[in-house]
A = this chain, B = another copy of it.
């Protein structure tokens, strides 16, 4: 039955039973956290062999010493192969790709990019933020006082008409945050057309940059690998290769506590970045880079590892989605959710104005979600409808509990609204 077609009386009845159902669940004293996209212990254990290998004598002595702030050649090459870049277009960093993104924004603020005016000296700096999106991207731009402009996402990526019109005339529009593959949180993959339009569009700012966070480049959840167009190739053809800053890491391939991150960019951008990084560090951890290279070996072997990861986490996504289907499927129209082909999240849209109520109800019943609004700049989801579900970290049993609580809370919050 469609809830939105029911009479007030029918809704009141459903609300009463939803209340009862919620109270029963809340009384059970569950404690489950599906807030952050963290790998679970079994995923980390897949990389156990890496932690104690190779033998000490196998490390090139130069990697045990200072130097190479651009990273070791083996990992520059492997990341290049993974991302469709040249090794000379890759800097290999430390554990955190967020760190490389933050530092890239900081360098633009302090020193400017490729000789352009430092963003600190611009009257205004604005970033386009496809929404819903990744909270930690938005937190970085907010931290630097950069204005954020919401751009709605659909199944193909950000609304490109809006993006193009925003960047064409506004010189203060300096960047856009993108998670182009298995997007956080909607799971969509940018269409070829969207990628091409991003790579070729006219921008008023010469130093406009696409922050292309390819965090889930090999993180399939089905047997189908959804292909993402190579934005660097397209941008280069259009003479826009300096527009792209690409990021990736092994955090969700090996271990999140000791991964290796990378930044990909045109050789001019790499040279520009290195002209600052040279002063910033005597070099990142080359032992961990080499350890990764020896463990990961090749793009093919990375895909094998990711298949093993998939086997661990896919059932958790399935558990959430199937419970949502069963309980909130065809019969009612208060919620929509994604069934992603990759990445780390399920995106759940509930009736406008109900997301924060759902999150509060969940919390009171022992289920921690990412706070409502977190997927929007400044934490403000004006429709108050989007919730992000991260099922990977929790064990299988708790995932079922999470789904059960979630459904009860969505029903209750939406019925409260409809029955008003």
Q: Which residues of A contact B (CB under 8 A)?
A: 36, 38-39, 41, 44-45, 47-49, 51-53, 55-57, 59, 61-67, 94-96, 98-99, 102-103, 106, 109-110, 120, 136, 139-140, 143-144, 251, 255-258, 276, 279-288, 393
Chain B residues near A103 (CB-CB < 8 A): 280
Kindly identify which residue among B48, B56, B256 contacts A52, using a CB–CB cutoff of 8 Å.
B56
Cross-chain contact A55 with B56 (CB below 8 angstroms) = no
Cross-chain contact A66 with B287 (CB below 8 angstroms) = no
5 pairs of A and B residues whose beta carbons are closest in the complex: A258-B287, A48-B56, A44-B64, A99-B281, A96-B281
| Cα A139 to Cα B57 with chains together (Å) | 35
Show 24 A/B contacts (Cβ-Cβ < 8 Å), sorted by A.
A38-B66, A44-B65, A52-B52, A65-B255, A94-B95, A95-B281, A95-B282, A96-B282, A96-B283, A96-B284, A98-B281, A99-B280, A99-B282, A106-B106, A106-B110, A110-B144, A143-B276, A251-B282, A255-B287, A258-B285, A258-B286, A258-B287, A285-B285, A288-B288
Chain B residues near A286 (CB-CB < 8 A): 257-258
| Cα A106 to Cα B144 with chains together (Å) | 13
Cross-chain contact B280 with A98 (CB below 8 angstroms) = yes
Least CB separation from A37: chain B residue: B66
Least CB separation from A36: chain B residue: B66
Least CB separation from A144: chain B residue: B110
Least CB separation from A61: chain B residue: B41
Chain B residues near A67 (CB-CB < 8 A): 257
Given A41-B61, A49-B56, 6 more A-B residue pairs with CB atoms under 8 Å apart are: A64-B255, A64-B257, A65-B255, A66-B251, A110-B110, A251-B282
Copies of the chain in the assembly: 2
Cross-chain contact A39 with B51 (CB below 8 angstroms) = no
Most chain B CB atoms below 10 A, which of A57, A144, A257: A257
Chain B residues near A106 (CB-CB < 8 A): 106, 110
Least Cβ–Cβ distance between A368 and chain B, in angstroms: 15
Chain B residues near A98 (CB-CB < 8 A): 280-282
| Cα A95 to Cα B255 with chains together (Å) | 18
| Cα A413 to Cα B11 with chains together (Å) | 97
Cross-chain contact A39 with B65 (CB below 8 angstroms) = yes
Cross-chain contact A257 with B38 (CB below 8 angstroms) = no
Kindly identify which residue among B65, B120, B144, B285 contacts A94, using a CB–CB cutoff of 8 Å.
B285
Cross-chain contact B256 with A66 (CB below 8 angstroms) = yes
Cross-chain contact A283 with B52 (CB below 8 angstroms) = no
Least Cβ–Cβ distance between A123 and chain B, in angstroms: 15
| Cα A416 to Cα B49 with chains together (Å) | 62
Least CB separation from A41: chain B residue: B61
Known: A139-B279, A279-B139. A285 touches B61 (CB 8 A): no
Least CB separation from A111: chain B residue: B143
Chain B residues near A48 (CB-CB < 8 A): 56-57
Least CB separation from A48: chain B residue: B56
| Cα A61 to Cα B51 with chains together (Å) | 13
Kindly identify which residue among B62, B144, B257, B279 contacts A140, using a CB–CB cutoff of 8 Å.
B279
Least CB separation from A95: chain B residue: B285
| Cα A255 to Cα B60 with chains together (Å) | 12
Least CB separation from A249: chain B residue: B282
Cross-chain contact A64 with B258 (CB below 8 angstroms) = yes
Least Cβ–Cβ distance between A240 and chain B, in angstroms: 28
Cross-chain contact B257 with A63 (CB below 8 angstroms) = yes
| Cα A281 to Cα B63 with chains together (Å) | 24
Chain B residues near A284 (CB-CB < 8 A): 94-96
Chain B residues near A109 (CB-CB < 8 A): 110
| Cα A94 to Cα B281 with chains together (Å) | 10
| Cα A284 to Cα B106 with chains together (Å) | 18
| Cα A66 to Cα B62 with chains together (Å) | 29
Chain B residues near A64 (CB-CB < 8 A): 41, 44, 47, 255-258
